[in-house]
Structure 1
């Protein structure tokens, strides 16, 4: 039987009127496009052949599309149309995550999507997308780590989180510097408040994932944090983050004095001196304290404070 274009058009139009009809047509169309794209990819390929299909899923028109993704024997083929769909899905996922993180409910997120895209995502659909993202994050947060990082930075970010109400809660962030000087985010852990105990728990989790040695741990001045680091990595050096040091010092002066003090602090913690030593840095710190103690008496105590002395050891 030969099907004319007019008859085919009518068949498709009638099918689209059925429940989930549009999605079924999208699935058929995308599957056919990917199969044809594989045929083009294999033309002239020496020794490479088709190797069946694998299941896949993407969102289309607010619902999940179940696809049959063609494979090749050499594992070289990846459909371009699928890459475009995944990019769109990734943007959708990021938007869902951002809106949910700002305190919107799943129903409210669905309403935003309806206004933006002209289609409605139900609470259950948004919930599934959020759950998939949580699974991806959990998998990433449990991946194996390298055995040693020369430098590790730890700090907490404060982000709005909805529970009974929307309040800021702590997200523990661990950033490692590798031997080749590239950086890698090692972990992000969500806990309502920041504490030394919370950091110790997270550092023990890093050890369980394979991180056995840290050369230098850089952190802020949270009470008890240095002791928590020493328990998890007793052989590591500990250094207070210079940015946090500067913030603590700047908080001690009036607003109109902050620019001049900030300039003096840049001179104390300058990193462009090849012949610099910890002792020279400590001397610069004492000179700064002497300069400012005439106007702010607190600086006389900072001049010999062990907390700041540790920044230059």
Structure 2
């Protein structure tokens, strides 16, 4: 369906330029062009509120509004009021990065086609859009095989499950490994896809990590998968395996009604924030005394996993605080699930890996600062684990 092309009245342009702004006042981060674009998009979003839009369209509109400073004159994309003729197969300069950004937020090629047409006036085929995103394949290979640091003080390992069609729709396991480097920076170490989660495949992942240069991991935070600690010990025998407290609390709350969740979470906190293992054991007993009648499985689960939950009591508070308050892997998995939720399933492993990599690349751009209080924790790591740092 054709769209009406609007011409900006000269009177409006003259009014905007009445105070003779300098070029840098037009194009800067707070310049006139950006302010005008933001207000126009904001008005468009207000109009959308009264219309029927898909969740992905609404999400993208808000993100484009926030990112409008990067869609300026240097983007190479044609102005929104100018429509490219025909079904385009050639991507205008600068538009490929916008297509990648949209794809990384979970939009399909057809949804991107609609957004590119609406926002940039360019009519591209889904095949042309897929070709742009396929360019990430070489980048993924280089990223997945890049050399890693020699030592990681903390590594988080977890798995999420996604449906992939690939002939017949089936659930597959995506292995996610995030490290905290010596400088305290979060780093996405890698992504792997397998038929299902298992300690045997984790052994392959750990071996690959070692082959890429990692000689030691001080603390590995993992879920409660059977055989996982043994797999880690095979490749990194000096590593302390710590069952992720965030996972344990989350799994505990799965048994609890919404009404009682906040209170149960507060009563679990004294267990993992205790100063000694004896105090933690007493806190667990106190929890059981209060909640066993209603939720007996919670106390049973904590006791069953006690040996994997308590190693961090051997560490000073600076390190322990990092372990139980840094819900790095949970936050990342939540972000990855968010970009996948509109897809339902993926055509194959390659399309799944492409989206997850691009999404993870976006997430990692926000990791500009070391984790909180890292300097104090690093000093304790140096004492606890020797001179490797």
Q: Which residue of 2 aligns with 1:292?
A: 291
Tell me whether 1:176 sits opposite 2:174 in the alignment.
no
1:128 maps to which of 131, 142, 145: 131
Distance in 1 (CA, whole Å) between partners of 2:203 and 2:261 is 34
Cα distance, 1:172 vs. partner? 1.6
Number of residue-to-residue matches in the alignment: 227
CA distance 1:262–1:185, shift in 2 (3 Å): same
Gaps of 5+ in 2: 1-75, 79-83, 312-389
Q: Which residue of 2 aligns with 1:144?
A: 147
2:100 maps to which of 84, 88, 93: 93
Structure with higher helix content: 2
Deviations 1:23-64 (A, max 9, x none): xxxxxxxxxxxxxxxxxxxxxxxxxxxxxxxxxxx9887525
Structure with higher strand content: 1
Matches within 5 A, 1:1-313: 63-64=90-91, 86=94, 88-99=95-106, 104=108, 106=109, 109-110=112-113, 113-159=116-162, 161=164, 163-164=166-167, 169-270=172-273, 276-298=275-297, 301-302=300-301, 304-305=303-304, 307-313=305-311
Instruction: Report the aligned-residue RMSD.
Output: 3.0
Q: Work out whether residues 290 and 299 of structure 1, in 8 Å CA contact, stay in contact via their aligned partners in 2.
A: no
CA distance 1:154–1:129, shift in 2 (3 Å): same
Cα distance, 1:244 vs. partner? 0.9
Higher RCO (CA-CA < 8 Å; seq separation 6+):
2
Task: State the TM-score, normalizing by the size of structure 1.
Answer: 0.62
Cα distance, 1:189 vs. partner? 2.0
Distance in 1 (CA, whole Å) between partners of 2:283 and 2:124 is 60
Q: Work out whether residues 169 and 193 of structure 1, in 8 Å CA contact, stay in contact via their aligned partners in 2.
A: yes
Task: State the TM-score, normalizing by the size of structure 2.
Answer: 0.51
Q: Which residue of 2 aligns with 1:23?
A: none
Larger radius of gyration: 1
Q: Which residue of 1 aligns with 2:28?
A: none
